[in-house]
Amino acid sequence: MFDKPRLSLVATIIAMIVQWLLAWFWVPVDDAQGDVYRIIYLHVPAAFAAFTSAFVLAVASILALRSPNSSKLDLSKAATEVGLVFTILTLATGSIWGKPTWGTWWTWDARLTTTFLLALMYGGWLLLHNAIPEGPSRVRSCSILGLMIAVDVPIIYKSVTWWRTLHQPQTILRSGGSTMDGDMLALLLSGIAIMVIVCLSMIFVRRQNIRLQESLEEKSLRGVV
């Protein structure tokens, strides 16, 4: 009844809900921030999911550029849409967390700005895809933009190291080891893993839907002609 991507999506959404329940009720409260820090178990996994989408987009773009005359952009489109969803989620949850901790909803610091740029570029990709008719020109243009989107990801990741930012520095992968409590770190890492699989499942289900839609359009065109 359900193929593998759909099964994976349902299973990982259930795992994600379990992880959220643990984040609300099991993991200890933070000394400095109190309970509001629990947003980390959504915000950080969402960011990693957005980065994963960019990686998938980069791979799909490279494959498409190898043969632009015969390539379709269904995987790229799916990755871009899912990436945009997770980037918006990252920005929204970050903003909500920022208000009580920094006293502001937004600031133009390096990490926030580069993440906002990621959202703009994902949106730009979708607009570009709609603006150019199907063909090698669209494949080339969208794939080049897809590679540029992927370049933003390491900049976002290193922004807290390269520039003086309001955003807190790296807490997971840092020299000297993580500063997080064991239980908190374990739940955060499992949350990241679950969200990455949710993201990949969404991408593959969306790709299948795009292909189904294209197949339907083709059939209906043949019916008209």
Partner 1 sequence: MYGPQTDPTPYIAAAYVIGALCTIGYSYWLLASRRRLERYLDAMNKKDH
- List 43, 77, 111, 138, residue binding partner 1 (CB under 8 A): 43
- Based on the shown chain and the rule CB under 8 A, indicate whether residue 169 belongs to the binding site for partner 1: no
- Based on the shown chain and the rule CB under 8 A, indicate whether residue 77 belongs to the binding site for partner 1: no
Query: How many CB atoms within 10 Å of residue 77?
Result: 22
- Based on the shown chain and the rule CB under 8 A, indicate whether residue 4 belongs to the binding site for partner 1: no
Strand-pair partners of 30: 34
**Cα gap 81→153, rounded to integer Å:** 16
Helix (H, G, I), strand (E, B) or coil at 30: strand
Pattern 97-136, partner 1, x by CB under 8 A: x-xxxxx---------------------------------
Structure tokens, 141: 């243009």
Helix (H, G, I), strand (E, B) or coil at 34: strand
Closer of 3 and 183 to partner 1 (Cβ): 3
How big is the chain, counted in residues? Answer: 225
- List 89, 118, 145, 188, residue binding partner 1 (CB under 8 A): 89
Instruction: With residue 17 as reference, give the H or E element that holds it.
Output: helix 4-25
Q: Are the CB atoms for 149 and 121 separated by under 8 Å?
A: yes
Q: Which residues sit at the interface with partner 1, rule CB under 8 A?
A: 6, 9-10, 13, 16-17, 20, 24, 33-36, 38-39, 42-43, 46, 82, 85-86, 88-89, 92-93, 96-97, 99-103, 198, 202, 205-206, 208-209, 212-213, 215-216, 219-220, 223
